[in-house]
């Protein structure tokens, strides 16, 4: 993953990974099968890392705050792992299509989010299907993350934080209305 982080998606080659690992290109192929196998393993690892960060969150008694904290943890993960996040959420490699195991890794993280949303629905804070809301909330968070990564969400930390808060509150308010 260090090669992906340092060289970006454009510089991510099996040869470069072998160089960084101090091994041969055939050894990398033997271990992962091909470049897609290597990408698959990084994809898995990204979701394992994200889930690990989410699992470290202290549960909040307030469902709204619990969901807000989960979105903040997602934001932090994406900010700290921009290239990895591109791979996980953006299908950055044209020759890589996640298989059932890879999709399962992402589903575990999605279930975590759905459970937080379900708490908000059950508490009467928002209305709607938790799965649908999770898709919308994740899409919004990914869009905000992309904007933030590109430097388009503001020039100061305060402005970026303010816009994240605005988006989260607006989405939650819209879901509360049931319209």
What Cα–Cα distance (Å) separates residue 98 from each residue in 27, 36, 37? Answer: 23, 9, 10
pLDDT (tens digit per residue) in 133-152: 999 999 999 999 989 988 99
What pLDDT digit, counting tens, does each position of 56-86 carry? Answer: 999 999 999 999 999 999 999 999 998 888 8
User: Chain-wide mean pLDDT for the chain?
Assistant: 87
Distance CA 179, CA 177 (A): 5
pLDDT-based confidence at 123, cuts 50/70/90? very high
162 has a pLDDT exceeding 80: yes
Q: Quick one: average pLDDT of 41-46? A: 84
> Phi/psi of residue 120, each to 5°?
-65, -40
Confidence of residue 173 (pLDDT cuts 50, 70, 90): very high
**Per-residue confidence (pLDDT) for residue 7, from 0 to 100:** 73
What pTM, to 2 d.p., does this model score? 0.83
Share of residues in the chain with pLDDT > 90 (%): 53
> How far is residue 33's CA from residue 177's CA, in Å, rounded to a whole number?
51
Q: Which structure tokens are listed for 155?
A: 């020039």
Tell the CATH topology of 43-177. Tetracycline Repressor; domain 2 (1.10.357)
Which two structure tokens, joined as six digits, stand for 59?
Answer: 């549960």
33 DSSP assignment: S
Domain boundaries, given as residue ranges, for the chain: 43-177
């Amino acid at each position: 993953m260090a090669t992906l982080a340092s060289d970006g998606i454009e510089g991510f080659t099996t040869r470069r990974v072998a160089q960084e690992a101090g091994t041969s290109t055939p050894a990398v192929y033997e271990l992962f099968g091909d470049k897609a196998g290597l990408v698959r393993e990084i994809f898995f690892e990204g979701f394992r890392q994200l889930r690990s960060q989410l699992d470290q969150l202290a549960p909040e008694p307030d469902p709204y705050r619990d969901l807000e904290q989960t979105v903040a943890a997602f934001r932090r993960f994406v900010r700290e792992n921009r290239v990895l996040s591109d791979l996980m959420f953006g299908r950055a490699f044209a020759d890589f299509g996640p298989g059932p195991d890879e999709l399962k890794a992402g589903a575990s993280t999605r279930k975590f989010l759905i459970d937080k949303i379900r708490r908000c629905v059950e508490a009467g804070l928002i209305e709607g299907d938790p799965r649908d809301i999770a898709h919308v909330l994740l899409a919004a968070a990914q869009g905000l993350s992309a904007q933030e990564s590109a430097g388009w969400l503001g020039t100061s930390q305060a402005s970026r934080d303010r816009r994240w808060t605005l988006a989260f509150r607006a989405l939650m308010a819209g879901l509360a209305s049931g319209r």
